[in-house]
Chains A and B, each alone.
Chain A
Amino acid sequence: MYTIQYIALFTILGLMVYVFLKFKNQKLELSDLIAWELFFMILLIVSLVPVKISMEIKKILGLGRGLDALFVSMIGLAYLLMFKLYLDIDRIEREITDLNREIGIKLKEIEDLLKRKP
């Protein structure tokens, strides 16, 4: 095993424990925990046998060198994650608008009520 594999293994194991602790402290939902742990599991397998997996990806995708294939698929994955993040931020933006709207209308209604009372 190369040194980089040891570093990767430790980092990924650390992250897996970190995510689990987050879940234990009720800061993460079960579905998120499973998704993240699965993702790390895949990374773990990749870091254990990188050459073999990269050869497999190379066979499927038909890209030049094995490691290139690995990089390409990882970049693709990162883009997917970015898209998910984009959607999440978009959802939060709309939630902020809804919140703003509710507060604005409620405040207006309270103002009207106060005005009506002498």
Chain B
Amino acid sequence: MKLEKVRCEESLINFLTTLGIDIGDEENLPFVGKYFVEFRGVKYEGKSLDELESIITNLLGTYVVVPAYNEEKTIGKVLDELIEVFPPDRIIVVNDGSSDRTEEIAKSKGVNVITHLINRGLGGALGTGIAYALKKNARIIVTFDADGQHLIEDALKVMKPVVEGKANLAIGSRLKGDTSQMPLIKRIGNFGLDVITAIFAMKYVSDTQSGLRVISAECAKKIRITCDRYAVSSEIIVKAAKNKCKIVEVPIKAVYTEYSMKKGTNVIEGIKIALNLLLDAFRR
């Protein structure tokens, strides 16, 4: 999150300057008060100055990974929104072998763009983004879809438990929030995949296929992504659960446009995901 300049309570000025943070008084800046950081209505709270410091370092070390495959129609707008909240050098777009102008548009926004020479699927792209973020010493990694399905405010909300150190993996659940926009067929499909994931993970998550998730670096380091395609969403949950990472769900709202409906998982993908999870046992 952009935290290089903040508004704050007077008693915290010294503390913030020692952390190298500038003080300003513009209305749209994040506000730092006694043991909390507030931005766009989301409050990251701690109990002591030490906890506040850890919240601030976590927020300063938050990287956003945006996997993108042929998303020229939406990626510009998504990145514009992200740049308002996150500095461009902490946004990583993984251009997964797109044949359109995705790479060009992303580069023009000044964000980090990593290009796959050939298309490897969602899992491949997420793996690359996470690996690069870890190389950059990220403390927290947010994954955000490039098709415009997520709201930036929701991302800030999902970040909360991980930033506060209360969880290692937070999943933005479209099913816990307002589901009015989610088509019935998607809801049924999602439920099927949730059940399959629950069997492997021994933990039930209400929206395993959500693209909006926040993961702490220590948990991300333990997860070795082996599923290249959509199975990765379930895989992350299964492996996080096996590595004893604490998983929480945060309700979010999914925006379904005609465009984002065409993308994403369908029944055949669902079967493939189940097969992939089964096959994972045989992988060395």
Interface of chain B residues 170 through 196 with chain A (CB within 8 A): none
Does A97 sit at the interface, judged by CB under 8 A? yes
Number of interface residues of B (CB under 8 A): 22
Chain A contact residues, majority secondary structure: helix
Q: Mark B235-246, 1 if CB is under 8 A from A, else 0.
A: 000000000000
B116 touches which one: A87, A90, A91, A104 (CB < 8 A)? A104
Smallest beta-carbon distance A81→chain B, Å: 15
CB pair A104 B128 closer than 8 Å? yes
In the bound complex, what is the Cα–Cα distance between A93 and B120 (angstroms)? 9
Does A59 sit at the interface, judged by CB under 8 A? no
Q: Which of B21-29, B107-115, B151-159, B211-219 contacts its partner?
A: B107-115
In the bound complex, what is the Cα–Cα distance between A107 and B228 (angstroms)? 21
CB pair B115 A107 closer than 8 Å? yes
Does B161 sit at the interface, judged by CB under 8 A? no
Q: A87-B282, A91-B283 are in contact. Are A97 and B120 (CB under 8 A)?
A: yes
Chain A residues with CB under 8 Å of B262's CB are none
Number of interface residues of A (CB under 8 A): 14
In the bound complex, what is the Cα–Cα distance between A92 and B117 (angstroms)? 16
Interface centre among A93, A94, A96, A101 (most CB of B within 10 A): A101
Smallest beta-carbon distance B276→chain A, Å: 9
Chain B residues with CB under 8 Å of A91's CB are 283-284
Chain A residues with CB under 8 Å of B135's CB are 105
Chain B residues with CB under 8 Å of A52's CB are none
CB pair B131 A97 closer than 8 Å? no
Q: Mark A53-90, 1 if CB is under 8 A from B, else 0.
A: 00000000000000000000000000000000001001
In addition to A93-B228, A108-B112, 17 A-B residue pairs with Cβ atoms within 8 Å of each other are A87-B279, A87-B282, A91-B284, A94-B226, A96-B118, A97-B120, A97-B124, A97-B228, A100-B116, A100-B124, A101-B124, A104-B117, A105-B128, A105-B132, A107-B114, A108-B113, A108-B114
